[in-house]
């Protein structure tokens, strides 16, 4: 009879809180102001061409940057 592997614990948050964490389950970098977040997004564009947007987090009420969503 085969033994079943134990399920890995879920580390990725669910729901609206997911916008506060990255894929590794660690919190995203926080910025105190929208201006700081937009500057970091612009730097990411300048250095690597990644199009990021700033948004206010519903979890910690600070600013984060993340990939833009398309309205297709």
In a domain? residue 63: yes
In a domain? residue 4: no
Among residues 42, 48, 46, the alpha carbon closest in space to that of 65 is found at 42
| Token reading at 11 | 């580390």
Could you read off the pLDDT tens digit of each residue along the chain, which spans 72 residues? 667 666 555 454 455 466 788 888 888 999 999 999 999 999 999 999 999 999 999 889 999 998 876 554
Whether pTM > 0.75 for this model: the answer is: no
Range of the domain at 39: 15-67
In a domain? residue 33: yes
Q: How many domains does the chain have?
A: 1
In a domain? residue 5: no
């Amino acid at each position: 009879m085969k033994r079943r592997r134990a399920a890995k614990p879920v580390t990725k948050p669910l729901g609206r809180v997911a916008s506060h964490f990255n894929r590794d389950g660690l919190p995203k970098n926080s910025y105190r102001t929208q201006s700081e977040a937009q500057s970091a997004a612009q730097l990411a564009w300048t250095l690597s061409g990644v199009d990021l947007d700033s948004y206010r987090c519903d979890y910690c009420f600070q600013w984060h940057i993340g990939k833009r969503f398309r309205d297709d």
